[in-house]
């Protein structure tokens, strides 16, 4: 996920929706309902079927789920922002914003339905639905530098991504009274020694059980005695974990 900030918006939507679902599991059902109705609407558009009643019915379904999706995403971004403010360390904070190229991200179902009704002619030409929550994007800014994430260095982009994962963990810990288990694959890649030390301090401050992987023990030297290390080797076709001192 190191390229999250520089690739297409679809990946950022999926990343955001996974975080939303960690707070509100029913968000998945809303997304599925919306996408199913949108596929039916797109089929009508491709077939050039102009039945207003059919369009109104589908747009009514889409607007109810769509407004719920937008509202849930906004609540999630607010939770992440608050959780980043509560960080124990100076790990970089990402300012987040939900954006849409058409400006159709509204939380009122009636207003969303009006957008689709007004855009039917253009959608008929395109053969697909051109606006709505499925076009949304999550924009991030490196707060202390006031720089968009896509213009940051590779290390800064990774740091912003990690910051959101930690904020999600912190907020979930508040909800459940204990932090979730963290599985962080190649978490230290692209982070300099200072940011690695800050990351490990943050993980320890969360008091979470975390499993971190990396290609070399030197990537975890800042942890030292605060973690247990293992070297994973292949022996006779099977993986074997051997305790290894972190230094």
Clarify whether residues 143 and 236 are in a common domain.
Answer: no
Clarify whether residues 38 and 132 are in a common domain.
Answer: yes
Q: How confident is the model at residue 103 (pLDDT cuts 50, 70, 90)?
A: low
Clarify whether residues 117 and 233 are in a common domain.
Answer: no
| Pairing relationship of beta strands 137-142 and 94-99 according to DSSP bridges | antiparallel
Phi, psi of 76 (to 5 degrees): -65, -45
Decide which of 113, 136, 152 is a domain's last residue: 152
What CA–CA distance (Å, rounded) separates 205 from 12? 27
What CA–CA distance (Å, rounded) separates 205 from 199? 10
Sign of CA dihedral 66, 106, 95, 154: positive
pLDDT digits (tens, 9 = 90+) for 111-154: 889 989 999 999 999 999 999 999 999 999 999 899 999 999 99
Clarify whether residues 108 and 17 are in a common domain.
Answer: yes
Clarify whether residues 59 and 136 are in a common domain.
Answer: yes
Clarify whether residues 13 and 129 are in a common domain.
Answer: yes
Clarify whether residues 110 and 187 are in a common domain.
Answer: no
pLDDT at 105: 67
pLDDT digits (tens, 9 = 90+) for 122-131: 999 999 999 9
What CA–CA distance (Å, rounded) separates 34 from 55? 14
Task: Show the domain range for 110.
Answer: 9-152
Decide which of 115, 137, 152 is a domain's last residue: 152
Clarify whether residues 79 and 195 are in a common domain.
Answer: no
Mean pLDDT of the chain: 90
């Amino acid at each position: 996920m190191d390229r999250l900030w520089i690739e297409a918006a679809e990946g950022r939507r999926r990343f955001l929706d996974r975080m939303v679902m960690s707070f509100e599991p029913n968000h998945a059902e809303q997304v599925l309902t919306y996408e199913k109705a949108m596929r039916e609407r797109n089929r009508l558009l491709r077939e050039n079927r102009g039945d207003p009643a059919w369009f109104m019915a589908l747009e009514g379904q889409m607007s109810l789920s769509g407004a719920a999706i937008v509202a849930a995403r906004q609540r999630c971004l607010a939770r992440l922002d608050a959780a980043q403010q509560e960080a124990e360390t100076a790990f970089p904070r990402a300012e987040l914003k939900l954006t849409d190229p058409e400006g159709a991200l509204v939380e009122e179902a009636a207003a969303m339905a009006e957008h689709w009704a007004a855009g039917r002619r253009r959608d008929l030409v395109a053969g697909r639905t051109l606006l709505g929550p499925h076009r949304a994007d999550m924009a991030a800014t490196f707060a202390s530098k006031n720089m968009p994430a896509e213009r940051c260095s590779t290390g800064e982009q990774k740091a912003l991504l990690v910051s959101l994962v930690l904020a999600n963990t912190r907020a979930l810990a508040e909800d459940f009274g204990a932090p979730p288990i963290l599985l962080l694959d190649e978490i230290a890649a692209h982070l300099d020694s200072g940011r690695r030390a800050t990351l490990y301090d943050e993980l320890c401050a969360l008091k979470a059980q975390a499993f971190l992987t990396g290609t070399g023990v030197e990537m975890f030297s800042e942890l030292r005695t605060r973690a247990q290390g293992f070297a994973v080797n292949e022996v006779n076709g099977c993986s074997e974990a051997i305790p290894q001192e972190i230094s």
